[in-house]
Amino acid sequence: MTTILYITANPKKEEDSNSLRVGRALGESIRQLDSQADIVEIDVYKQPIPLIDSHFLNARSRLAAGKSVAELQPEEQAVVRNVFQWTDQFIAADAYVFAYPLWNFGIPPMLKAYVDTIKIARKTFCYTPEGPVGLLSGKKAVLIQSSGDIYSEGPLKEFEHGSRYLKSVLSFIGVACIEAILMEGMDKDAAMAEANRRKALTEAARIARKLFAV
């Protein structure tokens, strides 16, 4: 059975969010292709995603120095176990779908907090004499990003730190198969926005067939 994490990062209602609507459509397409797929939903605005704090930073330094979790201070053990439960869930999954808007050139803050729980040394990547190596080979990911303006080309291209950032993180931890659905210019014109939504829905169906057909 394929386990897919559907990670959403938008406090809006689903019907008011372009990325969430396309993400839901992708999930429905996956279920039509694979009725046994287990799609686990993680809404980072509703789940208690931990933030990196001083306890975790101290614990990380101790772990890097060779300490075990059991040797940490009680408050450090608690925060590490809280972070690692999200890390372990991510490692155990086969594929990931991220649905989110581009805000102020980047991803929403709670999605960044979630990313901080999955990029963990010695769990999703490791350091070697040749450099860092990702440990999550064989995984798949789909990024569904909506933006009010156009960032894939033109004068704003260098300001796009959403999909580019997530691709960098996922590639770093070993995820080689990454597809992206970018809905751009959604605030420019109503007709353009509708056309882009239709195009994104078609693309979602294509990606479902490509990545998840059994």
DSSP class per residue in 78-141 = HHHHHHHHHHHHHHH-SEEEEEEE-BTTB--HHHHHHHHHH--BTTTEEEETTEEEES-TT-EE
The pLDDT of residue 214 is 79
Measured CA to CA, the distance from residue 178 to residue 155 in angstroms comes to 25
| Degrees, nearest 5: CA angle 117-122-125 | 75
Its sign, for the CA torsion 7, 8, 14, 17, is negative
The pLDDT of residue 64 is 87
For residues 69 and 80, the answer to whether their CB atoms sit within 8 Å is yes
Whether the predicted model's global pTM rises above the 0.85 cut:
yes
Mean pLDDT by 10 residues, the chain (214 residues): 97 96 98 96 97 91 89 91 97 98 98 97 95 97 97 96 98 98 94 95 98 90
